[in-house]
Chain A
């Protein structure tokens, strides 16, 4: 449905990452119980934001 597509486009944005780094992520995904590379990267971002005291779960 167009409404759903519009919502998805608005909520997600593309981020450029070196392929070599994503290849390493792909290797780690299954090994450490993540469902996808996106899940891994999102978790990595949350951890680092948390480390800097800037993560707010309610904003997600």
Chain B
């Protein structure tokens, strides 16, 4: 087996560190800083190394810098933005309520549970689809 040179070992360590750091921070809801990450490392890692990896992750678009100290995962930021966007969109829709037999709702619930591959998010999603299909069928 070929011997790994010092330089290669160092690069391997950095790659692994980057991978592990990303895994640790990409779903983290709270902002984090270098000090926090240094404390969380199981092996001793210098804050300069962590800073270097964070710079790479910023360049790759995986995290963003909130201020001169704090960082946040781009994935978390996007999720928050999307949630807010969807909330705003729903806020613009006017809803009405319709009383439907519980027996039918039970059958929909069972379908949602047994056939998740159909992609219905909830009962209302199914009812909306049923109405749309029926309307387009009647128009034909």
Contact = CB atoms under 8 A, between A and B. Distances in A.
A41 to B, nearest CB: 6
Given A17-B124, A22-B96, A32-B138, A60 B104 contact: yes
A28 B104 CA distance: 22
What band does the interface of chain B fall in when counting residues whose beta carbon is under 8 Å from A?
Answer: 35 or more
A48 B94 contact: no
Contact of B95 (A18, A24, A38): A18
Contact of B98 (A17, A47, A60): A17
Interface string B70-109: 0000000000000000000000011111111111111110
A47 B100 contact: no
B130 A55 contact: no
A5 interface: no
Contacts of A21: 128, 131-132
Contact of B100 (A20, A22, A38, A54): A38
A46 B111 CA distance: 12
A48 B133 contact: yes
